[in-house]
A and B are shown apart, each in its own frame.
Chain A
Amino acid sequence: MSSDHIHPEPTTFLRKHVFSTDHKVIAKQFLWFGLIWLGIGGIMAMMLRWQLANPGVPVPLLGGLLFPRTGGVIDPASYNTLFTMHGTIMIFLGLTPAMIGALGNWCIPLMIGARDMIFPTLNMLSFWAMFAGGAVGFYSLFVPLGATEAGWTGYPTLSTTVGGVGQGETLWAIAVFLIGASSIMGGINYITTVIRLRAPGMSWMRLPLTVWGLFLTSILNVLFVPVIGSAMILLVLDRVFGTSFYVPASIMSGGTGGDPILYQHLFWIFGHPEVYILILPAWGVVCDLLSFFARKPAFGYRTSVGSMVVITVLSAVVYGHHMFTTGLSAMLGESFMLLTMIISVPAEVLFFNWLHTLWKGSLRLTTPMLFAMSVIFVFGLGGLTGIYLATIGTDIFLHDTYFVVGHFHLTMAASALFGTFGAVYFWFPKMFGRMMSEKLGKWHFWLSFVPLVIVFCIMFISGYAGMPRRYYDHTSVEYLRPLQHLNVATSVAAFLLGAAQLIFVFNFIKSRWWGKPAPQNPWDVGTLDWTIETPVPHYNFKTIPVVQCGPHEFSNPVLGPDTDWIYQTEKLPD
């Protein structure tokens, strides 16, 4: 199928490193881009935690620089901007490029035996659309009246001119639109590449589960990102051209009567699949890494794929659980409650398969493995606490409290982030031709994992105690004052978590240029990406490989006692 899919190697610097159409270069561009934004979003989180633990105390180091007018103190409007941009950045400019952009571009062609993505130019455009979105978002921080303060969800009418007339919100909507365009371009490319460019013998049931996760994510991207794109267009029209899609008549005299709830539907029709857009690649990576480092086949490959497909479908019909307090009709509320709860069944099958993959394995506790295993723990905590929020009776009280913050950070943020870390540690040797330090990697893991669990578990307690989210200062409310020590404890753990990421930065930079040169296959893994030499040549595969077996034939007795793995290009001995 893919034998003649060749384009010549670029010769100029610009075409080789900047406007490259090579999926490997684009993957690295996405990775650097995503990691830098994760850093910026992370610093914003640190400032938020500073304000919550020490309300009204100047931020050390950065405060004087960023908030000169208040002497380094975060003012309430800036606080709103910070958590809005923290959310937007982490989701759209951090995890999306680092997880889907980098991992998808790196893994899909190499793991399915293709020479490049099927649409290389579209692939390049996908990165530069994302870059433009990031640039617009970054610029919005410096416009008069400041960046958006309407929350990452951007609910009208707060996000329309009723809530504020600055350019920040408009630029935010444009940035989200551009990033969405990038995701759609990437999604079309990934789907078509997986369908069309699989090497001979690479049947659907021989695909590494990482590719399955990315494939399903791409389907969600292509189907649901256009919905938020349209929501953003309507928002920009409302803000700039004076339409009133979201502005009800009772507010603006002469308005034709829009509906702010329309936006909430559009936003969450996209917003809920977005959770799975971020977590599905992580699940795929976890499925694979657990098998690779437990030296056992991925238990129940077909049921894992089936569960991910079912979750992909269900993710489209549960979005209403974000709107239980909005004023949904009783019938809609109950239907969404039931549908949301059903997700626990395929999720449980995945957990069952993951734990069974580890069971009686031969566990190599490398850094990627530790991150993969921690996803089981972290996603377990996050997923199970979702039941409180899917149940309307408990959600009424817990909605918009820190319980929700803890829940979604553990599920979509921490799980996706730890999946990304696992993937980076795992593919780094192939990507950059050098090994990352295992010792630093393990320090990074433990100093991230423990504070992370502490941070978000305390949030469950404060949420249970009724602490509302998006509050600039909790000590302004009487019954929250005795709970201030919870905020302090959360912040201390959060600072530790933030500091631990410096280990990763150091390890990444040092290993990138001065690390130990990596062998071709440091992990003894049989997927196609490890069959080729390091660094990967421009065309990836000199001859398109022929796939003879599945990706997880570990410890197969037919391999004999000397080895416990086999390349996918090799035939299993009889």
Chain B
Amino acid sequence: MSMLKTLLPSFALLRSRWLGCPLALMLTSTWALAQDKRWGPGEPASDYGDRFYDLFWLITILVSVAFALVVVLLVIPVLRDRARPGHRASFDHGKSLHDKRLTAIISIVTFIVLDAWVLVIAMKDLREAYWAIPDAKDPQTYRVEVLAQQWAWNFRATGVDGEFGTADDILTINELVVPLNRPVSFNMTSKDVIHALFLPEMRLKRDVNPGAINEAWFKPIKEGDFTILCAELCGFAHYQMYGKLVVLEQGQFNEWEAEASRLASTAFDADDTEAHWAWDWQE
């Protein structure tokens, strides 16, 4: 209780330049940073990319307030309660019913404000976006099988016939071409070690494990060239395991797909077991 009573007048200390300024600076800079979507990989290019920023921004505000409180309560005693002749510390074990109530109230407030609030939004995001894998039977869904290896990304698309494991499958290495505004769904596995598919502009990251198939999806909402990275340590060339993601507008994409399928069929060699790694799509 003593803490609450003395807290209010102590906020006068905040007006002192050397405490107030850094705090204000810290808060405004985190705010500015959280607001700036161009930082790093640039503005999100997938439809759920903005959800990351909304949540990041919310958490930043919440933890900044919490941290500012901690710093204020740490600095005030340093300024005010230093040992000096004639000064004696107050004697308080914090055992009173009042202190216990205060502890309980702060715990509940922490849980509701810091945890439950964020948790509810996060759950909603997971169900509506990140883990809402699109229906593979929907013709709108563009399916891609990913086979990672040290140190390259192999991509397989069905080609125009819509079936995996046929002669017109489009196989690409370190380059993936997808249509704009259609959900892209991945089935992923690895030949050797664990990798992780990281599409920074799309805010997508998912491990690619050997011996199992992992799913992930995103829906590109911007045309252009984007980055494909590996985010799980996979050996000494881990940092060089990058590729290019190309998002094409539907008309251009159809042209590209038809041409790529035709080329794939002409080069198809039924005896080349190395190239026939397709599997039945898993949901």
A interface residues with partner B (beta carbon < 8 Å):
75-77, 79-80, 149-151, 155-158, 162-164, 248-251, 257-261, 294-303, 325-327, 330, 333-334, 337-338, 341-342, 344-345, 348-349, 351-353, 355-356, 358-365, 373, 376-377, 380-381, 384-385, 387-388, 391-394, 396-397, 399-401, 461, 464-468, 470-474, 476-480, 483, 552, 554-557, 561, 564
Cβ–Cβ contact B88 & A394, under 8 A: no
A325 to B38, CA, bound (A): 24
For B94, the chain A residues whose CB sits under 8 A away are 297, 299-301, 303, 353, 356
B203, B211, B236: the one contacting A259 at CB < 8 Å is B211
For A394, the chain B residues whose CB sits under 8 A away are 52, 55-56, 59, 122
Known: A296-B92, A303-B100, A348-B107. A163 touches B204 (CB 8 A): no
Flag B217-238 by CB within 8 Å of A: 1 or 0 each: 0000000000101011111111
The answer to whether B99 has its CB under 8 Å from any CB of chain A is yes
A406 to B55, CA, bound (A): 19
Q: Which of B11-19, B72-80, B259-267 contacts A (4 or more CB under 8 A)?
A: B72-80
Flag B113-145 by CB within 8 Å of A: 1 or 0 each: 011001101110111001100000000000000
Cβ–Cβ contact B91 & A556, under 8 A: yes
Interface residues on B, range: 35 or more
Residue of B nearest to A462 (CB): B40
For A297, the chain B residues whose CB sits under 8 A away are 91-94
The answer to whether B173 has its CB under 8 Å from any CB of chain A is no
Cβ–Cβ contact A466 & B40, under 8 A: yes
Known: A158-B233, A477-B242. A352 touches B106 (CB 8 A): yes
Residue of A nearest to B29 (CB): A461
The answer to whether B168 has its CB under 8 Å from any CB of chain A is no
B74, B126, B192: the one contacting A376 at CB < 8 Å is B74
For B70, the chain A residues whose CB sits under 8 A away are 351, 355, 376-377, 380
Known: A334-B126, A479-B227. 5 other contacts (CB 8 A): A76-B239, A155-B233, A299-B94, A391-B118, A465-B39
The answer to whether B3 has its CB under 8 Å from any CB of chain A is yes
A472 to B233, CA, bound (A): 11
Residue of A nearest to B70 (CB): A380
For A330, the chain B residues whose CB sits under 8 A away are 126-127, 131
For A294, the chain B residues whose CB sits under 8 A away are 77, 81, 89
A351 to B205, CA, bound (A): 34
A467 to B239, CA, bound (A): 11
Known: A162-B193, A396-B52, A397-B203. A554 touches B89 (CB 8 A): yes
Known: A465-B41, A476-B240, A479-B227. A327 touches B103 (CB 8 A): no
For B99, the chain A residues whose CB sits under 8 A away are 299-300, 356
For B270, the chain A residues whose CB sits under 8 A away are none
Closest Cβ of chain A to B110, distance in Å, is 4
For B76, the chain A residues whose CB sits under 8 A away are 359
Residue of B nearest to A385 (CB): B63
Known: A157-B192, A295-B83, A325-B196. A393 touches B122 (CB 8 A): yes
Cβ–Cβ contact B206 & A364, under 8 A: no
For the complex of A and B, list the 10 residue pairs with the smallest distance between their C-beta atoms, beginning with the closest.
A248-B211, A465-B40, A299-B94, A384-B63, A300-B94, A341-B115, A471-B239, A362-B89, A76-B236, A158-B193
A518 to B80, CA, bound (A): 30
Cβ–Cβ contact B125 & A360, under 8 A: no
Question: Of A330, A396, A400, A555, which is in contact with the most chain B CB atoms at under 10 Å from its CB?
Answer: A396
Cβ–Cβ contact B231 & A400, under 8 A: yes
The answer to whether B184 has its CB under 8 Å from any CB of chain A is no
Cβ–Cβ contact A158 & B194, under 8 A: yes
The answer to whether B6 has its CB under 8 Å from any CB of chain A is yes
A345 to B115, CA, bound (A): 9
A149 to B91, CA, bound (A): 54
Cβ–Cβ contact B118 & A361, under 8 A: no
Cβ–Cβ contact B103 & A157, under 8 A: no
B92, B118, B235: the one contacting A163 at CB < 8 Å is B235
A352 to B200, CA, bound (A): 38
Known: A261-B209, A300-B95. A149 touches B235 (CB 8 A): yes
For A334, the chain B residues whose CB sits under 8 A away are 123, 126
For A258, the chain B residues whose CB sits under 8 A away are 211
For B51, the chain A residues whose CB sits under 8 A away are 393
Cβ–Cβ contact A361 & B237, under 8 A: no
23 contacts between A and B (CB under 8 A): A250-B211, A260-B194, A297-B92, A301-B94, A325-B196, A342-B111, A356-B99, A358-B77, A360-B90, A362-B88, A373-B74, A373-B78, A377-B70, A380-B70, A388-B56, A393-B122, A396-B203, A400-B196, A467-B40, A472-B236, A477-B227, A478-B227, A479-B200
